[in-house]
Structure 1
Amino acid sequence: MKCPTLDELSHYVDDLLTEQQHDKLHAHVKSCDACQRVVTAFRGEQQFIKETLQTPVLHDDFTMLVLDQIEPYEQKIIPGKRKSWKRIMLLVAGIVLALGVSATLNPSFAEWIEGLFSTEQADEGLRRAPDAGLVERVNLEVTDKGITLKVEDIVADSSRVAMSFKVLDKNGKAKNPYLDWEDSESGIIVVDQNGTRFDFARMDWREGSDYGLIQFSLRKQEVSEKLTVKVNLVELNGVKGNWRLDIPIDLTKSNVLTKFVPLHDVQTSSHGVSIHMKKMQYSPTSNELMYETGFTAEEEIRIEKEIQQHEAQFGKDNIRPEHVYSEFETAIQYRIENKDQQTIYTHDYNSSFIEEERVGDMELYQGTGQRSGQLGQVLWNQSFIPQQEDDKLTFVLDGVFKTVPADFSVAIQPKELKRNPVSFDYEGNVVTIMEVTKNSDYYLRKSIFPIGKRTSLTIAMDRKREAKSSDLGKWILVDNKGNAYITFAYGGGSDSYLEVYGLDKIPKEFTLHLVSVTRYEEFEGKWEVPLYK
């Protein structure tokens, strides 16, 4: 995987990615020193914001100050009347304080009345859960080291479990609810009665709110009706301790409210990509579309043959999983129409291929793609904010994406680049190789010699890409001795780079081989699948 952009890394730190995007970036960040440094910087900035922009605390005399402001003029003192007038004015002041100040300064008033799932911190699907009777107030808490973790409400749906919580000090005052259990001994998981474990958790946190929100996706496999959320935290607000809770979940009611529309494996193919429609699920907090993409049999044979040629040329270790081979995959571009044939959702798998703006009011809140192990085959699951089944939604295919082997190379003489940069045009990509530099960094290791040195080469490029043109994938560098090295791409546009490890010096000459490319092909005609019975 090439290095993500700064925006993508920022979204990764802020937990704004889909499950698939988060998993992919997390795996990359763990193995990329450069991206780790960027993530560390973003997290430091995030922590600074949390610590310095806390919600202001109102003064004890605030109610009387409001009262003084709304009292319009000096009142006559009438025996027996002053007390009830004052009571009315205090009530007015309380209403102003509750509805005005709480709404503008702190959302906790609305949260206090109806809980987190009535506020904007929850997505629209979760905000519909109270109407469906799926919000359970559990008010479970555990205290250690003077800090209390309080789980207030649970939403249990057939597609996800959401949990709202607070972190309180010994006086009951809400503290920063942000939890960070990655790369630590802490963890929050869901298990069913068969012991099946659901690890993925998404943390939502908003400045000015006393609440944190954790969500678990239940979409990857069949789920039993009885679940347990297991909380095991060893640190809260920088304090070491032990906070454990087991929270029982019952999906019986939500399963009754969930409707399935089998799509009977309706299928088509286009430009070597096959599409199999699986099912549409309508549940109280989300609607889910499940389908599968892959290569046709003929396309898979052709791609396997080209992969074998790459293996013979560059070595199997440079081509097979988890390097280039794992990038050969498929996807689709589609839209969803309502009963009036109006587009209410446009799926942007790769927005750089699509010139038109996204159309429609239907909102995707989570999407995943799970590889099956077969070349190019991906099981997709897209979750939307609920639409009613009687809306008679229709799926319309627009085009297909496929990442396939490429056969293009360019020879580079690094010392000549300053005078004569190397330029080429490949499938709508105009690329100029600007320079090659050597980098060294030092790191600590467990050894007799604790300081290690690591060198890399950076190839600077200027890249311009036409709309809907191919997206260049993985490059392999072959030096003048015939040794092959994997490159790692990052940046974009005029600031595009390839990073190469394992070379101690810049070769006098080397060749860059493009071994994968992603192409978009529009679907010819119109293929529609009704998403209703």
Structure 2
Amino acid sequence: MKWRPNTGAGKAAYSPRETGGGEEEKRTEQHRPSLAEGSEERSEELPEDARWTELLSAETLPEDFTERFMAELESLEIEAEEDFRAAEHEGQSADSGPRGPYRKKWAARKSFWAAAAAVLLLAGGLLVYTQPTIAERFRSLFAADSYADTGMREAREAGMVADSDAAASDAGYTLKVQEVIADSTRMVISVAMFDKDGKPAAGTILGAHYRIFDDQGEIPFRSGSGGNPSIDRRDFTFGRSAVGSEVSLYIEADEIAVSPGENLSDGSQNKTIKGSWNLLVKSDLSKANALSKTTRIEESYETPHGLRIEMLGTSRTPSGGTLEFETFLNAEARKRAEGGAQGKHSVYFRIESGEGESLADNLQTQFNASSTFDRWSGRTRWFCPFNNFPSESRPLRFVLDSYVIEEQSDASVSFRPEELSKDRPAEFADSGDRFAFTGFAVGPDPNGSPESSVGILTFSGHFNNPEFPSDTWIAVDESGRGYPLTFRGAVTSDTAGGELDGDQQFIAEGMTSLPKRLTIKRTAVHRLYRDADWSFQIPQTGSSGVVPE
């Protein structure tokens, strides 16, 4: 799959205005699958079979231990059932165990269970006594029905999951941070909720403001959420590497949703609670920094159409890693670019394993890349985090697929709106995009208030530049009045281009009457170039720590 940062040069992707200064963004996962055994109120007096489940799930056991153990139990249970039926047929008590010819088999069953319990206790060792209860383990980032990406799992294996005592109470509910994973590129927390009696509540934070700081000041970030029916997970991907020995997360939550049951799958039953929950979560980065490695990369490339790429370096952290580089336009490209030297641009690239496959868990990281434009040098610096970046354990390769430069355009098409139809469309062609404008109407905005009035231009066709919805479009009527156009529809981001059905629309805000003549202009286009031919192997060596030597 093609990978690209989703912002261009000259715009800080992690600026406080874009992320609301750390305001929670849209949820990136389907929240809350159902969970059968997720309530902590049952953790005090667990039934025997639940304790067996906890023991069997001890992570120090061999991977195939549970499978072999349960297969053995299954065969024994079948034999035992046959024994009991035979015993009942002869009038014996199944509760007290068989008598007569079945006593030896019953004794063997009891001996096996005792031996199995001993094996489990020995295998688990002290872990059995130090592990949290089953309910507590369900209320975890790593519960059976929680999604944990590769980086989170690697951080756990490295011993980077820490407990937290951060908690706040208001409006009859307590929010408590249970677990924290943090390194120089990322922070993940789990938030549990409890009612006024201290009983677990299935809930999620609806409204909150977040801020993160390190030794250098405030860290920009992108946030996501997820979890399971008992835990609310918050994932913060940094817009730059955290520097120093500690990061601090400030949470100001003012609204939560609480379910009367054990999960939040049925939103119609959830209660919305207003309140004020302020938490401070501090995380020591000393261990994470010691496990991190940074590597300088001295590779550069200039594309045929004038985009220069100069690599800076890469880092490997307990929860993933980063790639950092700079880009700028040469003299010819600046002439074509909208905005000249500060013209927006971006790149599509992927990270491949030695087998030529794109790494899993990195498919959505284009939403986490950040860029900052330096006006003095005319360069844009990119910070690209990954949840899966095993650069030390196996060879990785950077592969440049294509790139985008926002360029000036003078493409246009004119038509009489009342004459448009599917049989008589107005054809627009520019930079490989071919659109057929098939209808135009003026009236209330279907997505707005009944009093609103807009012009609605319907079209279909083929796009070559997947970012055409972000291009600068304008509609000019016969009197010379211009109406900025906004795109409404759905486009799959694919560097191969694609077909559009007839449901796409351009909306002209403020238009109150049908023009006699209309001209559609595109004054700036995010032109995609596929002529890149560059790749290199990412070094596997480096120096320990966050700051390279």
What's the TM-score, normalizing by structure 2?
A: 0.67
* Larger RCO: 1 or 2 (CA < 8 Å, sep 6+): 2
Quote the residue 1:135 is aligned against.
161
8 A contact 1:371–1:378 mirrored in 2: yes
The one-letter amino acid paired with 2:141 is L
The one of 150, 159, 173 aligned to 1:124:
150
8 A contact 1:149–1:166 mirrored in 2: yes
The one of 503, 508, 523 aligned to 1:495:
503
The one of 320, 330, 342 aligned to 2:345:
330
Query: How many Å separate the matches in 1 of 2:297 and 2:246?
Result: 28
Quote the residue 1:214 is aligned against.
234
Tell me by how many angstroms 1:414 deviates.
0.8
8 A contact 2:397–2:537 mirrored in 1: yes
Query: How many Å separate the matches in 1 of 2:433 and 2:301?
Result: 33
The one-letter amino acid paired with 2:356 is T
The one of 422, 438, 444 aligned to 2:442:
438
Quote the residue 1:363 is aligned against.
362
The one-letter amino acid paired with 1:343 is G
* Residue 421 in structure 1 maps to residue 462 in structure 2: no
Query: How many Å separate the matches in 2 of 1:382 and 1:139?
Result: 28
The one-letter amino acid paired with 1:333 is Y
Tell me the alpha carbon deviations over residues 468-490 of structure 1, each in whole angstroms, 9 at most, x when there is no partner. 89957332111111122211012
The one-letter amino acid paired with 1:331 is S
8 A contact 2:472–2:522 mirrored in 1: yes
The one of 288, 312, 320 aligned to 2:322:
288
Q: Which SS does the other structure have where 2:349 is aligned? A: strand
Quote the residue 2:462 is aligned against.
464
The one of 96, 101, 107 aligned to 1:77:
96
Quote the residue 1:385 is aligned against.
388
* Residue 233 in structure 1 maps to residue 253 in structure 2: yes
8 A contact 1:428–1:470 mirrored in 2: no
The one-letter amino acid paired with 2:418 is K
Flag structure 2 segments of 5+ consecutive residues without an equivalent: 53-73, 85-92, 121-132, 258-271, 491-499, 542-549
The one-letter amino acid paired with 1:383 is F
Query: How many Å separate the matches in 1 of 2:444 and 2:288?
Result: 57
Q: Which SS does the other structure have where 1:239 is aligned? A: strand
Tell me the alpha carbon deviations over residues 288-323 of structure 1, each in whole angstroms, 9 at most, x when there is no partner. 11123332222113335xx69xxxxxxxxxxxxxxx
Quote the residue 1:14 is aligned against.
none
Quote the residue 1:162 is aligned against.
188
Query: How many Å separate the matches in 2 of 1:482 and 1:204?
Result: 47
Alignment: residue pair count: 439
8 A contact 2:173–2:194 mirrored in 1: yes
User: 409-418 or 142-151, which moves further after superposition?
Assistant: 142-151
Query: How many Å separate the matches in 2 of 1:443 and 1:420?
Result: 27
Tell me by how many angstroms 1:226 deviates.
2.2
Tell me by how many angstroms 1:234 deviates.
2.6
Query: How many Å separate the matches in 2 of 1:230 and 1:526?
Result: 42
* Residue 504 in structure 1 maps to residue 538 in structure 2: no
- 1:55–1:373 CA distance, 2 compared to 1 (3 A): farther
Q: Which SS does the other structure have where 1:300 is aligned? A: helix
**Larger Cα-atom Rg:** 2
User: 244-253 or 391-400, which moves further after superposition?
Assistant: 391-400
Tell me the alpha carbon deviations over residues 170-217 of structure 1, each in whole angstroms, 9 at most, x when there is no partner. 344332332122xxxx323222355x223645242245x311111222
Percent of pairs identical after alignment? 21
Query: How many Å separate the matches in 2 of 1:465 and 1:300?
Result: 25
What's the TM-score, normalizing by structure 1?
A: 0.68
Query: How many Å separate the matches in 1 of 2:191 and 2:466?
Result: 47
Quote the residue 2:413 is aligned against.
410
